[in-house]
Amino acid sequence: MSVKIVADSCCDLTQSLLEQMNIQLAPLTIQLEGQVYRDDENLDIDRFIADMKASPESPKTACPSPKEFMDAYIGDESVFVVTLSSALSGTYKSAVLAKDMFMEEVGKKFIHVFDSFSASVGETLIALKISEVAKWGLEDSQIVEKVNEYIKGMKTFFMLDTLENLVKAGRISPLIAKVTSILNVKPIMAGDEGTIKVQEKVIGSKRAFRRFVDVIGEEGTNLEDRTLGIAHCNCLEKALEFKNEVLKRYNFKEIVIVKTAGISSVYANEGGLIIAF
């Protein structure tokens, strides 16, 4: 069966994963101080992170247009689409609208849009699951069923190093951010039915790091059958250290590390880790 995977650019990938899967990305855009950044392979992530840090403004993001998705749908393959959580972005709606418009023009073609209820490496794991299940020789509808089961069981967590972007966006007060900074409070966030909630606030970076490892054992089941995805925002050494600590305690089938692209970097900010399993 010939399958194409389409995802928005919040699906963080390595070059190896891009080559491994037949996947095409529809880029979101980011606006900061009047400049528009297209979240594609030409975006200088390190420069973008530096620009975010230097700016007093909060980055504003925009989902891909339906045309971006329609262009990606072209071809003879069955198309499976993975988008950012619909609770966080309009990307899911844009992809569905593109499907409806494409079907009106082309007629018979299989296209299914998955709401990831996640972001970043959560989308990456879903794309990998689609690629895996597609090799089993199942019907398109069976692939959808298997992947939906996977999405329902997947968990996503974030460990933020700074609340800077949340302050700029008006999500929390500067006073609270200042107090948490003085006390060295590190929030651990969790995916909650497609939204993001504060799981807990931990004092101290080392303690937060240990708690982040603990969360896997507390929230995960049948880890030997699952893949752990780790996305890092400009902190590869921290991601590798986290992987090593995980290997000491858990027996995942596979561990994948990716660097956050533009949109995920807006969520995580420099020093942030995102995990999904």
- Average pLDDT on 71-82 reads 96
CATH code where residue 255 lies: 3.30.1180.10
Average of per-residue pLDDT values in the chain: 93
**Residue 110 shares a structural domain with residue 184:** no
| Whether residues 208 and 246 fall in one domain | yes
Q: Based on the domain organization, do 262 and 171 belong to the same domain?
A: yes
What stretches of 135-190 show up as alpha helix (H) in DSSP?
140-153, 164-168, 174-182
Q: How many CB atoms lie within 10 A of CB 181?
A: 12
Give me the number of domains the chain comprises: 2
- For the ranges 13-22, 116-125, 180-189, 257-266, which has the lowest average pLDDT? 180-189
Query: Are residue 226 and residue 162 in the same domain, yes or no?
Result: yes
Structure confidence at residue 57 (pLDDT): 86
Instruction: Label residue 10 by pLDDT band (50, 70, 90).
Output: very high
Tell which of 152, 167, 193 closes a domain: 152
pLDDT band with cut points at 50, 70 and 90 for residue 89: very high
Say yes or no to pLDDT of 149 above 70: yes
Residues 183, 59, single domain; the answer is: no
Q: Are 114 and 82 in contact (CB under 8 A)?
A: yes
Domain C-terminal end among 135, 152, 169 = 152
Residues 125 and 167 in one domain: no
pLDDT digits (tens, 9 = 90+) for 108-145: 899 999 999 999 999 999 999 999 999 999 999 999 99
| pLDDT tier for residue 215 given thresholds of 50, 70 and 90 | very high
What letters, b where the CB count within 10 A reaches 16 and e where it falls short, cover 17-46?
beeebbbbbbbbbbebeeeebebeeebebe
Strands 78-83 and 3-8, bridge-based pairing: parallel
Cβ–Cβ < 8 Å for 164, 269: yes
pLDDT band for position 166 (cuts 50, 70, 90):
low
Whether 143 and 164 share a structural domain: no
pLDDT tier at 198, thresholds 50, 70, 90: confident
Mean pLDDT value of segment 1-23: 93
Query: What CATH number corresponds to the domain at position 78?
Result: 3.40.50.10170
From 118, 135, 152, the end of a domain falls on: 152
189/50: higher pLDDT: 50
Q: State whether 35 and 148 are in the same domain.
A: yes
Half-sphere exposure of 13 (CA within 13 A, CB side): 27
Shared domain for 48 and 171, answered yes or no, is no
Give me the pLDDT at residue 228, please.
98
Q: What is the pLDDT of residue 145?
A: 98
pLDDT band at residue 179 using 50, 70 and 90 as cut-offs: low
Give mean pLDDT, residues 181-193: 84
pLDDT at 172: 63
> Which pLDDT value is given to residue 176?
64
> Is residue 142 located within the same domain as residue 253?
no
Residues 109 and 167 in one domain: no
Residue 241 has pLDDT above 70, yes or no: yes
Predicted confidence at residue 161, as pLDDT, reads 84
Q: Say yes or no to pLDDT of 265 above 80.
A: yes
Same domain, 189 and 93: no
Determine the structural domain holding residue 240 and report its residue range: 156-276
